[in-house]
Amino acid sequence: MSQLLSVLREDLGDMLREDEATRAAQRADAWVMAEWAALQGRGGALPLAVLEPTSTEDVARAVRVCRALAVPLVTRGGGSGVCGGVQPGTDHVVLSTRRLDGLVGLESDDLLARFGAGTMGSDAEQCVQQEGLTIGHWPQSIALSTVGGWVATRAAGQFSTAYGNIEDVVLALEAVLPDGSVLRTRETPRASAGPDLRQLFLGSEGTLGVITEVTFSLRPLPETSSGQALHFADFETGLAALRRVLRAGWRPPVVRLYDAREARRSFRDFVPRDRALLLLLHEGPAPAVASEAPAVEALCREGGGVVTDPAAVSQWLAHRNQVPSFRSFLEEGVVVDTIEVAATWSRLPSVYASVVASLGEVPGILAATAHASHAYRSGANLYFSFAAKPSEPQQIPAVYAECWRRTMEATLAAGGGIAHHHGVGRVRRGWLAQELGTTGAGLLLALKDTLDPAGLLNPGVLLPPR
């Protein structure tokens, strides 16, 4: 190991960090099982070293040196991933993107902004807002995650129903491939020039290369916005009303339908007991908002919705990025996590019912609830939350794994897709072959083998280990 380190020092000394504090800070993401290990005093392996490149050329050099030395390389952005995507071994090097930071170029006429991949999401958004523009991508973790991490995990923002998800706002990107060569996709509004190579990196989770720059297609800040809230007899009735809204062509940026238990938990002042709650936020040019809000309300009322105080939307807006820490629950012997899946409108009710029922059978389960927070013409996501308190805290990992297994299997059996926006990491990789199918999984493995034959980039993530 020390021989390896001395070669790394020689070739990459300008960006190499070996101190324990830096290695400890970069050894995990925000996966609840990493938190559990830390609480048990087993905070995960310390990587051999951390690399902090400041340019694409540095990244290319780092990748080439690690390849020549056969050292596994784990890319880390903000470390806010919740699926175990960053978990280096003691013989791995972590490449932190955090110093690939800041605005590279802004072309206001073309509504384009190019950022270093390690720029924090909130810094990128603040930067374009100074020009009266927005990226329009608002994950709850906007202040914890990097723009490169958004691309690597195929992230979704809270305003996605109108503005789309990360794949809709990334116009171009730059990435260092596993052999150290640099790929730059062209900045054109659309191309019919073969497969879209951006897609290789959207959702690649550090396994196919290191994303070094991201170009966003921006939009002007909205002129006005307006909130709306309605409650429904149950979640299924709310889903049916939401489907009608999307089908009619309306696209409120924020649509959030909570089942009765979540509505009661978070919005009890706005919703009677046992009713589902729909929050809507309209924004854009004033005439568009003026026509969308009443039309959507009329469709929801026809679908059984009862109008309630729009202050529910203001409450959500004020608290939307606050989350309790996993650790505080774990300290009480309770494991809490969220699992997001997706399905077409016709399958959503059975995915919802079968996952909630299956989670309800887990020993020690305290709650299994859901909301839908991203809607499309053909379907929506379901964002399940579960909390379980096993009789012995040491059973937490097994109970946690059981909750995941049941959610994945019930979703697949009901025809849903296993991941809407958190990615695969380690926690979902066992189900990826079922999601992609044998041919799809084989194609992904073939791509990985071609680009990274020694499997050095983020081993153990996304693809099942060999």
Least Å distance, CB 338 to ligand FAD, is 9
Altogether, the residues listed in the chain come to a count of: 466
Residue carrying structure tokens 């053909």: 378
Q: How many residues at the interface with ligand FAD, by CB under 6 A?
A: 38
Query: By CB under 6 A, what part of segment 357-376 binds ligand FAD?
Result: none
Contact range with ligand FAD by CB under 6 A, out of 279-287, 351-359, 361-369, 419-427: 419-427
Handedness of CA 197, 201, 202, 203 (dihedral sign): positive
Residue 84 binds ligand FAD, judged by CB under 6 A? no
In the shown chain, the binding pattern of residues 139 to 178 toward ligand FAD, with x for contact by CB under 6 A and - for none, equals xxx--xxx-xxx-xx-xx----------------------
Q: Which of 35, 52, 174, 205 binds ligand FAD (CB under 6 A)?
A: 205
> Nearer to ligand FAD by C-beta: 76 or 428?
76
Handedness of CA 82, 85, 91, 97 (dihedral sign): negative
Write the CA distances from 67 to 61, 70, 211, 453, integer angstroms.
10, 5, 17, 10
Query: By CB under 6 A, what part of segment 294-323 binds ligand FAD?
Result: 323
- For 360, list phi and psi in degrees, rounded to 5: -65, -15
> Nearer to ligand FAD by C-beta: 152 or 169?
152
Residue 215 binds ligand FAD, judged by CB under 6 A? no
- In sequence order, what DSSP letters do the residues of 115-142 get, joined into one string? EETTSBHHHHHHHHHTTTEE-----TTT
Least Å distance, CB 344 to ligand FAD, is 21
> Nearer to ligand FAD by C-beta: 303 or 423?
423
Element (H, E) at 367: strand 365-372
Please say whether the beta carbons of 34 and 25 come within 8 A.
no
In the shown chain, the binding pattern of residues 318 to 347 toward ligand FAD, with x for contact by CB under 6 A and - for none, equals -----x------------------------
Query: By CB under 6 A, what part of segment 17-36 binds ligand FAD?
Result: 29-30
Query: Any idea what the Cα angle at residue 100 is, between residues 96 and 104, rounded to 5°?
Result: 160
Contact range with ligand FAD by CB under 6 A, out of 2-10, 76-84, 180-188, 226-234: 76-84
Environment class of 59 (CB within 10 Å of its CB; exposed 0-12, middle 13-18, buried 19+) = buried
DSSP-assigned beta bridge partners for residue 210: 176
Tokens of 225: 């916005």
- For 269, list phi and psi in degrees, rounded to 5: -75, -10
Judged by DSSP in three states, 187 sits in coil
Contact range with ligand FAD by CB under 6 A, out of 64-72, 106-114, 416-424, 445-453: 416-424
Please say whether the beta carbons of 351 and 413 come within 8 A.
no
> Nearer to ligand FAD by C-beta: 198 or 422?
422
Q: Which residues bind ligand FAD (CB under 6 A)?
A: 29-30, 74-82, 85-86, 97, 117, 139-141, 144-146, 148-150, 152-153, 155-156, 205-206, 210-211, 323, 421-423, 458, 461
